[in-house]
Every structure is written in structure tokens, then in C-alpha cells.
Chain A
Amino acid sequence: MTKVLLKDIRKNFGTVEVIRGVDLEIEDGEFVVFVGPSGCGKSTLLRLISGLEHISDGELHIGGRLVNEVPAARRGVAMVFQSYALYPHLTVRDNMGFGLKVRKVPASERARRVSEAAATLKLEPLLDRFPRQLSGGQRQRVAIGRAIVGNPDVFLFDEPLSNLDAELRVHMRSEIAALHQRLSTTMIYVTHDQIEAMTLADKIVVLRDGRIEQVGSPRDLYDSPRTIFVAQFIGSPKMNILPLADGQPIALGASVPATATSVGIRPEHLSLGQPSNSTLRGKVGLAEYTGAVTLLHVALDGGQTCLVIHNQGPAPETGAEVGLRAEPGHLHFFDKEGRAV
């Protein structure tokens, strides 16, 4: 059982505290994704787990063992880096077997494990090539293969798909998901791409300024965000947040909590109607046609801009007067501290 347990983990760089007390429990075989904006500490947290950075305070347990002072190579973890970090002077075969060689695994065993990993990732024809002779996707597969051969208890992925083009990213995402299903190993994955987070994760950890903002399944975070930050971070396009004074009409029929100061509604939960019989009215400022849907930027009478996803029929022209409607069940209320109520 390889459970990963973080107890009040802190990290300082000089006088700056970048990780400010993180408590987290990751179950055996779970796929956990760390998301958050740039500088929130997600990559640092991953590097603390990997052993590449020293933990300033707190306890890190991997597989029931306290590993704060255990070197990276002896933690039973393997990491896939954003830039793949393949050794350019070694062939694919040598890259994959390098860690085993350092650990003095016999050559025959090394060859067997490299072949197995290469077969899993369909890398056999590439084994004698150098990294410079590979495409981005192939390099990514080699980087994953290098992690697999060590047979780690935990896989760590640091934004592994961010250097790939959009099409390849979708393909590799499904390969990583398939790999997780096949290996059933604990995986921790860092990304700033919330589509990756939503599609891959069993559990998403949203980080903000070195602290955990919310932990939960993708559906939990989407349906029940605990703060405005999470509400706006998860979901694309982001949730509209309206001050309740302006948002009041949209919430007709919904019971508004006494402490609520703002209301959130996702663009996909708003629909267009006649201005005369709608609860919110505004003018279309911009219509972005994306093929499947049109994203409307509606300037409300109150001055706010509201995003609306329109996917039924032709979209109104820029400048058209529109009315907006929402189902009461899709409204999210927040107090003045930005917490859900």
C-alpha cells in the first residue's frame, strides 16, 4: 500500500514561505492533480514530495515511512519532467536504463525491464535513437518509460504535457489515463490546465499562495466550490460572479442565504431570453464563435460583464439587447470573505 501523507508541510526559500502548511492524504492508487495559478506552489510541493527540495517543516510519509531526510532516489518515486529531461548524450535505451544502471541492477534484468517498458509504450523501434531524433510526443513517452522501468510506488508528473501541441496533448492525456488504469500506481500530477485536471484526476487539489484551497473530486469542485477562487478557477470559461445587489433578479425563485454578498453562475448555465421577460438584461459586447458554441460577452445594465455559452440556434449580433435566465439550482452564493454559503 503506497499512501502518501503530508502533515503541515512547509517550505521557505530564505525568508519567503512558499508552502504554508499543507495537510493532504493521498490513497494508494489514487490519481491526484495539483492545480493552481502560477506561483501558487504546486510544482514546489511536487518537488518536496520527490525529494528534490528539502522540506523546511512538517512530515512527509510515503508508504507509511517518514521520508523527510530520505534522498530522492530512495523514496520509491519517479518523476516525469516538463522538459522531459532526457539525457541528450544517451540513446533511448540508455536513457531508460540509466537509473537502473546507477542502482547497479544487473545488465540482463535491466534489458528485460527496458524492453517491457518499451513494449508498454510502443517504443521498441526507437530504442537506439538519440533524444534529438525524436518528436515531442515520442520524447514524452520515453520520459514516462524512464519513470516506469524503476517500478516506482508513486509517479510524479510536473506539467508533462505543456510542451506539446494541442492535438498531441489530448492524445498523451488519454495515454497517461490508460497507463494509470493499467498500473494502478499512485500518481501525482501538476498542471495549470484545468481540462487535464478534470479529465485525469480522481482527486483535485486546488492550491493558492502555498495553501490548499479545496480538495475534492472534479465533480465536487465543479458543483460545490467552497470559495470564489475555486469557483472561478475550475470550469472554462470561468464562473460569472455578480454582486448580489445586481444579481438579485437572476436569483428569483432561489432562496438567498442571509450572509450572501455575491452570486456565481457558470456561463453554460445561463440562457438567453427576451429582454422584456428576463431577470437580467444587457447588451452583447462581443460574440466569439468557436464552432460548437458561441461565447457571448454580455454587458449588463449594472456595468458588469457576464459570459454566456450559447449553443442553440444562431447567436445574437454584437450590440443586440438580450435577457439572461438561470435555473435556481445552478446558483452559487458567497459571503463577503468569498466563502460559499
Chain B
Amino acid sequence: MTARRTEILYRICWTVALLLLAVPFVFPFLWMISGGFKSTTEIFGTPTLIPRIWRFENFVEVFTYQPFARQYFNSLYIAATVTVLTLFIASLAGYALARIRFAGAGLLMLFLVMALMVPEEVTIIPNFFLIRAMGLIDTHWPLVLLPVFGPQGVVATFLMRQFFLALPKELEDAGKMDGLSRFGVWLKIALPMSRPALAAVAIITFLHSWNLFLEPLIFLSSLEKFTLPLALSNFNDSYGLPLWNLQLAATSLAVVPILIIYLIAQRQIIESFALSGVKG
């Protein structure tokens, strides 16, 4: 057998193995889309991947059953706000922790990282009392403030700090020689150079906020203030049983922004997971 034929055979085997491995990951996704077009009866009937009757009206009902468009917008603007604020604060704090020599900088970073060890579920009750005392129950404020200043913000700060630590110090010296202030060095040199880290932080933060369930569940009670994860669990019939077809249709719609982001920034997402050690 020639080397070329061995190479082709090797490639075929490898592709088949990868395709087989992909099935457990891709199949639930296809099942979700398929379920979104089925009736409830068909979902519980003989399982088929292709719907026997295509119920496009499921996707209309999703919007009439509850204020889904509003809830969709809530998730979008909250995730965007959290992402922008986290990028701003984490890049500033990360830069300060990496580059400004001040007493207790190492200790401060240690405390921040230690705070990550506390599970979010443990802090939810004290946070609830705090938010209630601030009069912010049933508003979107806690969904912005808690991720920005909570563990997610710490992870972002840590990532930015690690990136800034690796930036050559001579570039900052050159900036100072060119007349930049400390803030100017951050804005004009450090920030443009940290685009990969900013992309990583943006993606991780957006995904986290988009998927947030516990906090909206605790802090929100009005339907029109719900975010998507909460709204998805709310497609139930009058007996409280889930309307699977509507849930699957709504879920299919909910993954659209994530898919778009993934298609645009596929490389950065993979790099961001590698950079952060976060599982995808």
C-alpha cells in the first residue's frame, strides 16, 4: 500500500471516528429543533427525528403564550450590559493588579480568588436580603450588579490580570516616553493589545449572563421582567405540566444569538476556553 493510500485511509477512519463521537453532542440539539415543530402528542408518540406534521405555529404560540419578545429583549440587554460593564471594570482592575505596585496587591488578588471558592448558592440568601434592603427586588439591577461585582467579575479580572502580566513592560515605558498618563497607557496601549483576552472575557461573560437561572428565579416575579432561562421553564399548561413542544421551540429560538456569536467568533471562543480553563 502506498503512503498516499495509507494517508487517505487514515483520514477516513479519523473522520468516521469523529463523526461517531459528535453524535451524542449533536443529536440532542437536532432533537430539540425537531421537537419544536411537533405537536405534544407526536413528541410522546413513536420517536422520529423528522416531524410527521410540521407545526410552524408553535413558534408563533411561543410569542403569544407569554411576553416572549420582551423576555428575549430582557436577556439580550442584560447580557450586553453585564458584558460591557465587566469588560470595563475587569480590564481596569486587572491592569491595576498586574501593573501598579501597591501595598497588599498580592493579598487583594488572593482574597478575590478565595471568594471564588464560595459556591454562589451559599451567597444567594445574604444577597437576597441585601437586594431587598436596596429595594431592587423584581428589577433587573441584581442581574447586572451580581455578575459584574460577583464571582464572574472576579474570573474576568483574573483573566485580564494574567494577560496584562504578560504584556511587555517596555511598551508601557515607550508610552510614558511618548507622554501618556497611566490611564492613557491602559486605554491606548494595553487595551488595544489585549483584544484576545477581551474577546475571551466578553464571550464567557455573555454566555454566563445569558444562561443565568437561579438569580432571575430568586429576584424576579413579573412575567414581563423574566429573562429567557426563566421564561423557558414557564411554558406549562393549566395543570403546571410542561408544554414540551413550546419549550423546545422557545429553546431553539434562545440558542440563536449564541449560535451567531459562535459562528462569528469560533476561534476566540475556543481560545477563551483554553485561556480560562472553563469548560465549554
Give B172's nearest chain A residue, CB to CB: A85
Q: In the complex where A50-B177, A72-B176, A73-B177 touch, is A87 in contact with B189 (Cβ < 8 A)?
A: yes
Q: Which one of B141-149, B178-186, B218-226, B246-254 is at the A interface? A: B178-186
Can you give 18 contacting A-B residue pairs, CB < 8 Å?
A: A51-B176, A52-B173, A52-B177, A73-B177, A77-B177, A79-B173, A79-B177, A83-B168, A83-B170, A85-B174, A87-B189, A87-B193, A89-B193, A99-B178, A102-B180, A102-B188, A103-B179, A146-B174
Q: CA–CA, A102 to B168, complex, Å?
A: 21
Q: B192 touching A85 by the CB < 8 A rule?
A: no
Partner of A82, one of B170, B179, B184: B170
Q: B170 touching A73 by the CB < 8 A rule?
A: no
- Give A40-55 as 1s and 0s: 1 = Cβ < 8 Å from B's Cβ atoms: 0000000000111000
Q: Is B105 an interface residue (CB 8 A)?
A: no
Q: A89 touching B178 by the CB < 8 A rule?
A: no
Give A156's nearest chain B residue, CB to CB: B177
- Give B149-188 as 1s and 0s: 1 = Cβ < 8 Å from A's Cβ atoms: 0000000000000000000101101101111100010001
Interface residues of B (CB under 8 A from A): 168, 170-171, 173-174, 176-180, 184, 188-189, 192-193
| Residues of the B chain whose Cβ atoms lie less than 8 Å from the Cβ of A88 | 193
Q: CA–CA, A102 to B180, complex, Å?
A: 7
Q: Is A62 an interface residue (CB 8 A)?
A: no
Q: Which of A85, A99, A146 has the most CB of B within 10 A?
A: A85
Q: B173 touching A85 by the CB < 8 A rule?
A: yes
Closest Cβ of chain B to A52, distance in Å, is 5
- Give A175-196 as 1s and 0s: 1 = Cβ < 8 Å from B's Cβ atoms: 0000000000000000000000
Counting contact residues on chain A (CB < 8 A from B), the size range is: 20 to 34
Main SS of chain B's interface residues?
A: helix
| Residues of the A chain whose Cβ atoms lie less than 8 Å from the Cβ of B180 | 73, 102
Q: In the complex where A81-B170, A87-B171, A89-B192 touch, is A102 in contact with B176 (Cβ < 8 A)?
A: no
Q: B184 touching A102 by the CB < 8 A rule?
A: yes
Partner of A85, one of B168, B179, B184, B188: B168
| Residues of the A chain whose Cβ atoms lie less than 8 Å from the Cβ of B177 | 50-52, 72-73, 77-79, 99
Q: B174 touching A87 by the CB < 8 A rule?
A: yes
Within 8 A of B (CB), among A119-143: none
Closest Cβ of chain B to A70, distance in Å, is 12
Q: Is A98 an interface residue (CB 8 A)?
A: yes
Q: A81 touching B174 by the CB < 8 A rule?
A: yes
Give B173's nearest chain A residue, CB to CB: A52
Q: CA–CA, A164 to B189, complex, Å?
A: 25
Q: A73 touching B178 by the CB < 8 A rule?
A: yes
Partner of B179, one of A81, A87, A99, A146: A99
Q: CA–CA, A71 to B177, complex, Å?
A: 9
Closest Cβ of chain A to B95, distance in Å, is 16
Closest Cβ of chain B to A263, distance in Å, is 44
| Residues of the B chain whose Cβ atoms lie less than 8 Å from the Cβ of A146 | 174
Closest Cβ of chain B to A48, distance in Å, is 13
Closest Cβ of chain A to B68, distance in Å, is 42
Q: CA–CA, A77 to B192, complex, Å?
A: 26
